[in-house]
Amino acid sequence: MLSEVSLIFSQKNLPVIIENLIPIAIIIIMPHEPCKAVRRLVTQTSGRYNERMNTNKLRADAITIFRASLEAVDPVNAVKTHLKRNGNRLELQGQEHDLGKFKNVYVVGMGKAAASMAKAVEDILGDRLTEGIVNVKYGHTVPLEKIKVNEAGHPVPDEKGVEGTREIIELLGKTGEEDLVICLISGGGSALLPLPAGDLSLEDKQNLTKSLLECGATIHEINALRKQLSRVKGGRLAKLAHPSTLISLILSDVIGDNLDVIASGPTVPDTHTFGDCMQILEKHGLKSKLPERVVEYIDKGCRGEIEDTPKPTDPIFHRTQNAIVGSNILAVLAAKEKATELGYNSLVLSTFIHGETEEVAKVHTAIAKEILSSGNPVGAPACVVSGGETTVTIEGKGKGGRNQEFVLAAALDIEGLENVVVLSGGTDGNDGPTDAAGALADGSTVGRASESGLNAFSYLRENDSYNFFKPLGDLLITGPTNTNVMDVRLVLIA
């Protein structure tokens, strides 16, 4: 999945280009040099040179750690680790299925990793596979033999996504009690499975998604609304597949790995109601900002005039198995293991981190400062790793994503600190509506930017982190990674 990492360092910009990697945030902390008094005697130029060499080492190690985390969540390996075939016996996490009892085996899927997951299923099933179709984000594809790949829009759904979803429904219409349906679900699956309910239009759902993203709604809140306004989410895909046997292989991109949240839970019971959706609209002040028919549809659901999504007691789930095959914790633990191997005192902060990106960044840099000051919670050289997914409340008109904004906020807080590097990236290779996975910064980033006429604080206020890091050469450019298990953040201190 990964090609060789290209490290391009210049004395001024020290750009780092990462190819085919999954974004991760890393903080590495290393011990102070023993003789600061001696350092003060050397020339200013020499001092800057020595400091840069130390920072370069941290940057290189951060990238190595980052690579390890990506390899741990490769979707092909994830599927093959959990789905095993021995003749006609298909085993998934302790539950066996006799392929000899099924007339046909179909595959459907949605998400950024769906094509890679489908490749693994083709390898496992071979000629027992009948046909299939998966919806993926533009560019997140791999060559397949029997399974059709439909590329569509993300994070804002488009007509290609609608067309692909209709094809999935048409395929499920062929299935019966003697068939097996394997559903491949990964991050981005919700936006890539768009088919509005009732008389709602795709434009209505697009406006809703944009409004929720801009107001800082959580992924749980976004998916709660998506489920109620969809013909296939919130367990409705399982209803379409019934009475077939249904197996879902899931690559989680949500905090806590809640099955009903990942891709808006197309194959699991829905725990949210129309009432919950109305509360979300009221919480974020969106009732007056959305198309009238969207609010009216939810209001009808609250009054019981529209059928709710399938709940846990629904018999359609009796022949359904949902299995998580990969998640954020795998990437984070792999990063921790690689950091330890490289000689760092490594610490996993949490994979449940959420909240406003700028505030989360300040917590991470505060930990870095504590390590430098007192050696707690771990001594230098240290690597603090965290996962999860933050949110950005958009107030400016710039370009960027939560990982780039995290690093920009961190760069401001570590300005002037020696031997501290912060890296943050999304494991899918796309941070917000940009071609970057994230960014990388150290204590000299703000100063280097200032020398080029870039005011870090102004760019942060304008939510323009992409255009801040691009001229500095500090964007993480990975290209599509064909996986998605949220973000990884690293702080390295020496």
Q: Write the pLDDT tens digit of every residue in 59-118.
A: 999 999 988 999 899 999 999 999 999 999 999 999 999 999 999 999 999 999 999 999
Q: Is residue 39 part of a domain?
A: yes
- Do both 20 and 155 map to the same domain? no
How far is it, in rounded angstroms, from Cα 232 to Cα 435? 30
Q: Is residue 288 part of a domain?
A: no
3-state DSSP: the chain helix, strand, coil percent, rounded to 5? 40, 20, 40
The CA distances from residue 254 to 81, 261, 264, in Å, are 21, 7, 10
Element (H, E) at 6: strand 6-7
Which residues lie closer than 8 Å to 374 by C-beta, 6 or more apart? Answer: none
The CA distances from residue 222 to 106, 206, 423, 439, 489, in Å, are 29, 12, 27, 26, 23
Give me 113's structure tokens.
Answer: 């990793």
pLDDT at site 21: 36
Per-residue DSSP letter, 391? B
- Do both 140 and 189 map to the same domain? yes
- Do both 139 and 189 map to the same domain? yes
- Do both 49 and 124 map to the same domain? no
- Do both 102 and 147 map to the same domain? yes
Domain boundary among 284, 300, 326: 326
Report CA dihedral (38, 40, 43, 44) to the nearest 10 degrees.
140
Q: Is residue 204 part of a domain?
A: no
- Do both 164 and 180 map to the same domain? yes
Confirm if 271 and 314 have CB atoms less than 8 A apart: no
pLDDT at site 303: 95
Our count of domains for the chain comes to 2
pLDDT at site 192: 95
Confirm if 369 and 333 have CB atoms less than 8 A apart: no
- Do both 322 and 358 map to the same domain? no
Q: Write the pLDDT tens digit of every residue in 378-393.
A: 999 999 999 999 999 9
- Do both 313 and 347 map to the same domain? no
Confirm if 293 and 241 have CB atoms less than 8 A apart: no
Task: Specify the 3-state DSSP secondary structure of 438.
Answer: strand
- Do both 395 and 484 map to the same domain? yes
Range of the domain at 114: 80-195+230-272+309-326
- Do both 239 and 380 map to the same domain? no
Task: Specify the 3-state DSSP secondary structure of 151.
Answer: strand
How far is it, in rounded angstroms, from Cα 367 to Cα 377? 8
Domain boundary among 300, 326, 352: 326
| CATH code assigned at 245 | 3.40.50.10180
Q: Is residue 87 part of a domain?
A: yes
Q: Is residue 244 part of a domain?
A: yes
**Which residues of the chain are modeled with pLDDT < 70?**
1-53
Element (H, E) at 55: helix 44-72
Q: Is residue 209 part of a domain?
A: no
- Do both 354 and 446 map to the same domain? yes
Count, residues in the chain: 494
| CATH code assigned at 425 | 3.40.1480.10
Confirm if 477 and 437 have CB atoms less than 8 A apart: yes
Strands 105-110 and 131-137 turn out to be parallel
Q: Is residue 203 part of a domain?
A: no
Q: Is residue 278 part of a domain?
A: no
Rg of the chain over Cα atoms, rounded to whole angstroms, equals 24
* 426 strand-pairing partners: 487
How far is it, in rounded angstroms, from Cα 63 to Cα 475? 12
Domain boundary among 280, 295, 326: 326
- Do both 241 and 378 map to the same domain? no
